């Protein structure tokens, strides 16, 4: 069975084609704002302009004919409304013209499922950290349960926002990481963990207010240390309170070497295994959508062609049919 997946929840327009065993092709055409953060309307216009060509190029790269595609999957949410609708509209058109089923996929769950597919993680505590989302999850009784989550913004948005405030271009996350490597003074910033939840917006305000007195490198080092320690603390507690003994990192912030290192060390101390997919599959990508749609369809699911997007679609809303 061959599935084509479309991802366009925010900045990255991406198409993936997979079968049960392999990724046959995946290609992206990201929207990169000239200044400031991502404006949903501008991003969606970029995606609508590029989507037809990107689908054709990905089919070509996979070395298949479009008639060989058995299933269309698209990111149904969470994400920016105008961006989500680009993928939904293209998917409906493909489903109708090729006369194949369509499945709307939860974007967060797709990040998790591709991680379980390409690593050896079976039943991990999941650290899902991206731009808009930050959640610690685990699987139980047919649902991905959210153990803890951000009370305000995602870790990636916090790094991007702080980056913008100190003059870095979007996305700030990777540039903060680069500067942090040259930092060594740990500057006092608010460490906010409440039970299993955490909050990042106060850290951004505090770090920004110190930008005149302190070196950029030290502020970048400190903001990473604080944010990643908070996430590691909650992940450790999730391991302690469950009978799980694996940790899987996913989402764009997972590309950061320092969060990988912290989670790896904590997992080792705990006698648990730590897993992280390669960078291409950590950020938003169409292959994760195609793979999750395929698993859902093989377990008997399909949507009707008018399946709607869901801007605030939570992973714990989804009844999981494809796992034991």
Residues of span 84-123 touching ligand ATP by CB under 6 A: 107
The long-range contacts involving 89-96, CB below 8 angstroms and separated by at least 24 positions, are: 90/6, 90/51, 90/52, 90/55, 91/6, 92/305, 92/306, 94/4, 94/55, 94/69, 95/305, 96/305
256 binds ligand ATP (CB under 6 A): yes
Residue number with CB closer to ligand ATP (33 or 174) = 174
Minimum separation from the CB atom of position 79 to Fe ion (A): 8
User: Is position 111 annotated in a ligand binding site?
Assistant: yes
Residue 139 interacts with, from Fe ion, ligand ATP, none (CB under 5-8 Å by kind): none
Question: Which span (125-133, 207-215, 219-227, 236-244) binds Fe ion, by CB under 5 A?
Answer: 125-133
Q: How far is CA 242 from the centre of its chain?
A: 24
Count of residues binding ligand ATP (CB under 6 A)? 26
Work out which of 130, 232, 267, 297 binds Fe ion, going by CB under 5 A.
130
**Cα distances (Å, whole numbers) of residue 277 to 9, 113, 161, 247, 286:** 20, 11, 26, 12, 15
Q: How many residues does the chain have?
A: 324
Distance separating alpha carbons of residues 224 and 39, to the nearest angstrom = 26
79 binds ligand ATP (CB under 6 A): yes
91 binds Fe ion (CB under 5 A): no
Interaction mask 18-37, ligand ATP, x per CB under 6 A: --------------------
Residue number with CB closer to ligand ATP (95 or 161) = 161
Q: Write phi, then psi, for 48 (nearest 5 degrees).
A: -65, -35
Question: Which span (24-32, 139-147, 249-257, 298-306) binds ligand ATP, by CB under 6 A?
Answer: 249-257
Minimum separation from the CB atom of position 68 to Fe ion (A): 28
Q: Which of 31, 100, 49 is nearest to 297 (CA)?
A: 100
Work out which of 9, 91, 135, 232 binds ligand ATP, going by CB under 6 A.
9
Q: Which of 127, 129, 79 is nearest to 105 (CA)?
A: 79
3 state DSSP class of 3: strand
Residues of span 280-299 touching Fe ion by CB under 5 A: 284
DSSP code for 303: B
Residue 287 interacts with, from ligand ATP, Fe ion, none (CB under 5-8 Å by kind): none
Going through 172-254 in order, the beta strands assigned E by DSSP cover 193-194, 197-198, 246-250
Minimum separation from the CB atom of position 124 to ligand ATP (A): 17
β partners of residue 129: 134
β partners of residue 175: none
Binding site for Fe ion (CB under 5 A): 130, 284
Binding site for ligand ATP (CB under 6 A): 9-11, 79, 107, 130-133, 154, 156-157, 159-160, 171-174, 177, 251-253, 255-256, 283-284
């Amino acid at each position: 069975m061959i599935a084509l997946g479309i991802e366009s929840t925010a900045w990255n327009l991406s198409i993936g084609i997979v079968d049960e065993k392999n990724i046959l092709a995946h290609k992206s055409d990201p929207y990169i704002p000239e200044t400031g953060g991502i404006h949903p309307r501008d991003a969606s216009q970029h995606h609508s302009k590029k989507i037809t060509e990107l689908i054709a190029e990905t089919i070509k790269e996979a070395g298949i004919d479009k008639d060989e595609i058995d299933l269309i999957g698209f990111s149904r949410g969470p994400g920016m409304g105008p961006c989500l609708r680009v993928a939904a509209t293209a998917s409906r058109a493909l489903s109708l013209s090729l006369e194949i089923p369509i499945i709307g996929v939860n974007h967060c769950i797709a990040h998790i499922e591709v991680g379980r597919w390409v690593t050896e993680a079976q039943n991990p505590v999941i650290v899902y950290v991206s731009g808009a989302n930050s959640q610690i999850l685990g699987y139980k009784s047919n649902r991905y349960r959210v153990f803890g989550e951000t009370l305000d913004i995602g870790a990636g948005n916090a790094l991007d926002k702080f980056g913008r405030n100190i003059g870095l271009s979007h996305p700030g996350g990777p540039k903060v990481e680069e500067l942090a490597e040259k930092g060594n003074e740990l500057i006092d910033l608010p460490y906010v963990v409440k039970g299993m939840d955490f909050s990042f917006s106060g850290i951004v305000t505090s770090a920004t207010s110190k930008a005149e007195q302190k070196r950029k490198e030290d502020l970048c080092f400190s903001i990473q240390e604080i944010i990643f320690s908070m996430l590691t603390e909650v992940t450790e507690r999730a391991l302690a309170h469950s009978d799980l003994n694996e940790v899987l990192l996913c989402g764009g912030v997972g590309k950061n070497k320092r969060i990988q290192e912290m989670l790896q060390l904590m997992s080792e101390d705990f006698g648990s295994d730590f897993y992280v997919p390669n960078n291409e599959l950590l950020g938003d990508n169409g292959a994760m959508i195609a793979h999750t749609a395929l698993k859902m369809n093989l377990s008997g699911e399909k949507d009707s062609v008018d399946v709607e997007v869901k801007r605030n679609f939570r992973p714990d809303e989804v009844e999981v049919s494809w796992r034991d």
